[in-house]
């Protein structure tokens, strides 16, 4: 009787495999030590790797196709939202920071804020090191340098921003539209997949006490049951993975990922207060307040204007439907001159506290007066050439800033303007030509003219994370 | 880097008038869509704003195999964990909960949670 049941079950399983076999399903091979979960995710991983490869290649291509400008003009490089930058570990590592504590005390949905306490990599304060050298106390400087650790430079920062559908780069503010794109992307499953689900579902519910979420195929003692479960699971896994891949492709073609890019260009106000407490050998304490407004010319707001007023496919009286219908079209349109600009306006006030350092044996002292610093800057960048062209695009960066350092008569009212043109010469390499104008050129190094030019090569290192 | 993850659970066979509930516990960091099939026909669909952070209930009356399919797509750059609880309250019996967890999902990552319920 048992033998007959085994034979029938294997025949049923084989029939199920034969009925639903397809190029995708044929590749699914679960191991006896797998559970449904591990097998499906290993297979989804293989599928994912294909997607990852595609996505990574696309992303690398996209970055390579982007001229991110002269490194000195980091203000307009990519407009990473400050709030996001603070939670981004990679970004923090790039700056030699280690985040120790982070808290997001949102006062309201429209005023997201963040409080961070970070430990900064630190070294001996350079002017102090020089003063020690000048006094013939190099060994003292070396000893002090060795005593410095991560806790000697602590920064406490509070950042607040404005968030709404029109301001801020938090995708939460655009969930209405992001969610609306899922509907058209989520097409009905194929009849084959529905039948595979029905077959596996009927089997799994019938044997629900035996088959749990983490049950491995080899844990099912009955060989016929195990074979039937394995066959049904493999068939369904293959079809599910195929269906999910189709969903991912459709979602992308509807502009889901493009919309995330537009969100990154939204206008953004940020106000940040920062206090950096340093050990006496690392440097003076410093307080800083920054107010910034930045935007990319092509963003969700400009898209909405297009979808509601200019798009031929818009749905009268239904703004959301118009946005869903017009997103792909907007993303495919060549940007206007205004849309190709990215702008940042910022004001910063900082105060470096009085610095005092003294040694009793040998007798040595070094002191610096407190310094107040006020600056205003406007930076703009523009990619030129055709959008969507396969190669990187040339780019212009312009920045003008005004600085005022109190207690320093010479440095007061200092103005600097820079213009940089970056031209792609080969993959990752850019030729940069820059002009710098300064009202007080003596603070720009070894130059004595008000205007100077520079020429250089920039190499952009793209890391895959 | 977009990733795909699928998870699946199955409940014991239950009687008509059993209640199927599901909840995506987090409220932010994703958009989602859900549908309920009976055998191979779709009998209910939910949009993102109807399910994120809410408990959704559906009474299962006709006999058949029900498949609940939830698709979740991450939207943030910072990864988040997404927890989905599916509960079956069989007619006249105690509730059974089957949790599914998706770890560290960020913008563009796709998760699919499936639950099977057989009403007989």
User: Closest Cα to residue B87, out of B100, B73, B71?
Assistant: B100
Is pTM beyond 0.80? Reply is no
Residues A75 and A31 in one domain: no
CB pairs under 8 A between A and B: 142
* Alpha carbon separation from A351 to A287, A372, A385, A435, B14 (Å, rounded): 5, 4, 43, 30, 70
In Å, the largest CA–CA distance within chain A is 103
User: Which pLDDT value is given to residue A45?
Assistant: 63
- In 3D space, the residue among A75, A66, A74, A8 whose CA is nearest the CA of residue A345 turns out to be A75
- A162 and A272 assigned to the same domain: yes
Give yes or no for a contact between A36 and B5, defined as CB atoms under 8 angstroms apart: no
What's the confidence (pLDDT) of residue A86?
40
User: Which residue in chain A has the smallest CA separation from B38?
Assistant: A198
Give Dmax over CA atoms of chain B in angstroms. Answer: 46
* Record: contact B4-A51, CB cut-off 8 A: yes
Which residues sit opposite A397 in a β-bridge? Answer: A381, A420
Domain that holds residue A192: 2-48+183-244
Kindly tell me if the per-residue pLDDT of B46 is higher than 80: yes
- B47 and A183: CB-CB below 8 Å? yes
B118 touches chain A (CB under 8 A): yes
Q: Where are the alpha helices (DSSP H) in A159-297?
A: 175-185, 191-206, 223-253, 256-263
Residue at A101 is within a domain: yes
Distance from CA of B45 to the nearest CA of A (A): 10
CA–CA distance from A29 to each of A221, A379, A407 (Å)? 20, 56, 75
What would the mean pLDDT of B65-73 be, rounded to a whole number? 97
Residue A94 pLDDT = 44
Q: Residue A172: list chain B partners with CB under 8 A.
A: 28-29, 75-76
Domain encompassing residue B49: 4-113
Please give, rounded to a whole number of angstroms, the shortest distance from the CA of B41 to a CA of chain A: 9
Query: Quick one: DSSP state of residue A28?
Result: -
Asked, for residue A408, whether it belongs to a domain, the answer is no
Interface mutation target, options A201, A252, A255, A465, chain B, most CBs of B under 10 Å: A201
Whether A165 and A276 map to the same domain: the answer is yes
C-beta atoms of B108 and A257 within 8 A: yes
Predicted pLDDT at A413: 75
Q: Helix, strand, or coil here: A114?
A: strand
Q: Are residues A152 and A215 in the same domain?
A: no
Six token digits for residue A136: 């013939």
Are residues A160 and A271 located together in one domain of the fold? Answer: yes
| Whether B116 and A84 lie within 8 Å, measured CB to CB | no
CB contact under 8 A, A182 and B11: no
Instruction: Please report, in tens digits, the pLDDT of each residue of chain A (465 residues total).
Output: 333 333 334 433 443 433 343 444 447 889 899 998 889 888 876 644 444 444 444 444 444 445 554 433 333 333 333 443 444 344 444 445 566 677 777 677 788 888 888 887 788 999 999 999 999 998 888 888 888 887 788 999 998 988 899 998 889 899 999 999 999 999 888 999 999 999 999 999 999 988 888 899 999 999 999 999 999 999 999 999 899 989 999 999 999 989 988 998 899 999 999 999 999 899 999 999 999 999 988 899 999 999 999 999 999 999 999 999 999 999 998 777 777 788 999 999 999 999 999 988 889 999 998 888 899 999 998 877 765 555 677 888 899 999 887 666 656 678 889 898 988 887 777 888 888 888 876 655 555 556 677 777 666 554 433
Number of domains in chain B: 1
pLDDT of residue A232: 95
- Please tell me the predicted confidence (pLDDT) of residue B90: 93
Classify A215 as helix, strand or coil.
coil
The reply to whether A19 and A143 lie within a common domain is: no
Contact assignment for A205 to B12 by CB distance below 8 Å: yes
- Shared-domain flag, residues A101 and A138: yes
B98 touches chain A (CB under 8 A): yes
Kindly report the CATH number assigned to the domain that includes residue B27.
Answer: 2.60.60
Pair (A12, A155) in one structural domain: no
Based on the domain organization, do A272 and A362 belong to the same domain?
yes
User: Is residue B43 a part of any domain in this protein?
Assistant: yes
- What does R_g of chain A's alpha carbons equal in angstroms? 30
Tally the C-alpha atoms within 13 A of residue B74's C-alpha that lie toward its C-beta.
23
Q: Do A220 and A191 share a structural domain?
A: yes
C-alpha span between A185 and A257 (Å, rounded): 13
| Residue B119 located in a structural domain | no
- Split into its structural domains, chain A has a count of 2
Range 50-79 of B in CB contact (< 8 A) with A: 52, 65, 67, 69, 71, 73, 75-78
Q: Is position A193 within any domain?
A: yes
Specify the pLDDT at position A91. 40
Please indicate, yes or no, if residue A162 is contained in any of the structural domains: yes
Among the residues of A65-95, which ranges form H helices? Answer: 82-87, 89-94
Q: Which pLDDT value is given to residue A465?
A: 37
Q: Is A308 left (phi over 0), alpha (psi -120 to 50) or beta?
A: alpha
**Does one domain contain both A137 and A284?**
yes
Residue A415 forms part of a structural domain: no
Question: What whole-number distance in Å separates Cα of residue A214 and Cα of residue A38?
Answer: 8
ipTM value for the complex: 0.93
| Whether the Cβ atoms of residue B81 and residue B105 lie closer than 8 Å to each other | yes
Out of B1, B29, B100, closest to residue A52 by CB = B1
Looking at beta carbons, which residues of chain B come within 8 Å of A48? Answer: 2-4
The pLDDT score that the predictor gives to residue A431 is 86
DSSP 8-state symbol, A384: -
pLDDT at A362: 86
pLDDT exceeds 60 at position B54: yes
């Amino acid at each position: 009787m048992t033998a007959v049941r085994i034979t029938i079950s294997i025949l049923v399983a084989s029939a199920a495999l034969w009925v639903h076999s397809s190029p995708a399903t044929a590749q699914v091979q679960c191991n006896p030590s797998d559970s449904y979960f591990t097998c499906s995710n290993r297979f989804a991983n293989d599928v994912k790797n294909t997607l990852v490869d595609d996505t990574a290649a696309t992303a690398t291509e996209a970055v390579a196709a982007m001229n991110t400008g002269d490194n000195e003009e980091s203000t307009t490089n990519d407009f990473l939202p400050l709030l996001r930058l603070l939670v981004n570990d990679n970004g923090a590592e790039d700056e030699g920071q280690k985040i120790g504590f982070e808290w997001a005390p949102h006062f309201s949905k429209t005023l997201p804020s963040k409080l961070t306490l970070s430990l900064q990599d630190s070294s001996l304060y350079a002017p102090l090191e020089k003063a020690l050298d000048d006094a013939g106390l190099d060994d003292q400087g070396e000893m002090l340098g060795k005593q410095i650790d991560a806790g000697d430079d602590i920064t406490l920062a509070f950042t607040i921003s404005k968030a709404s559908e029109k301001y801020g780069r938090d995708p939460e503010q655009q969930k209405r539209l992001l969610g609306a794109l899922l509907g058209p992307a989520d097409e009905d499953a194929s009849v084959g997949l529905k039948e595979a689900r029905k077959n596996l579902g009927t089997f799994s519910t019938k044997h629900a006490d035996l088959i749990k979420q983490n049950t491995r195929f080899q844990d099912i003692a009955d060989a016929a049951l195990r074979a039937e479960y394995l066959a049904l699971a493999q068939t369904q896994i293959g079809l599910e993975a195929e269906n999910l891949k189709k969903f991912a492709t459709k979602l992308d073609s509807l502009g889901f990922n493009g919309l995330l890019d537009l969100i990154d260009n939204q206008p953004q106000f940020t106000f940040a207060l920062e206090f950096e407490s340093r050990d006496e050998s690392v440097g003076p304490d410093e307080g800083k307040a920054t107010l910034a407004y930045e935007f990319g010319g092509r963003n969700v707001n400009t898209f909405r204007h297009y979808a509601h007023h200019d798009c031929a496919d818009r749905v009268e009286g239904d703004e959301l439907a118009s946005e869903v219908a017009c997103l792909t079209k907007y993303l495919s349109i060549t940007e206007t001159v205004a849309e190709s600009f990215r702008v940042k306006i910022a004001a910063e006030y900082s105060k470096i506290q009085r610095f005092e350092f003294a040694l009793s044996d040998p007798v040595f002292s070094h002191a610096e007066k407190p310094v107040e610093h006020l600056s205003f800057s406007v930076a703009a960048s523009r990619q030129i050439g055709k959008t969507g062209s396969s190669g990187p695009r040339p780019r212009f960066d312009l920045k003008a800033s005004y600085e005022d350092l109190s207690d320093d008569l010479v440095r007061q009212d200092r103005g600097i303007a820079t213009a940089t043109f970056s031209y792609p010469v080969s993959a990752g390499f850019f030729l940069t030509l820059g002009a710098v104008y300064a009202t007080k050129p003596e603070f720009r190094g070894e130059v004595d003219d008000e205007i100077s030019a520079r020429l250089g090569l920039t190499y952009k290192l793209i890391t895959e994370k | 880097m977009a990733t795909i993850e699928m998870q699946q659970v199955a409940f014991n066979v239950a009687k008509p008038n059993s209640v199927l509930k599901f909840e995506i516990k987090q409220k932010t960091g994703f958009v989602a869509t859900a549908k309920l099939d009976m055998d191979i026909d779709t009998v209910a669909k939910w949009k993102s704003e109807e399910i994120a952070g809410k408990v959704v209930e559906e009474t299962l009356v006709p006999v058949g195999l029900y498949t609940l399919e939830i698709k979740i797509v991450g939207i943030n750059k910072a990864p988040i964990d997404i927890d989905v609880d599916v509960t079956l309250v069989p007619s006249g019996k105690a509730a059974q909960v089957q949790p599914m967890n998706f770890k560290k999902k960020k913008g563009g990552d796709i998760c699919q949670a499936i639950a099977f319920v057989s009403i007989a």
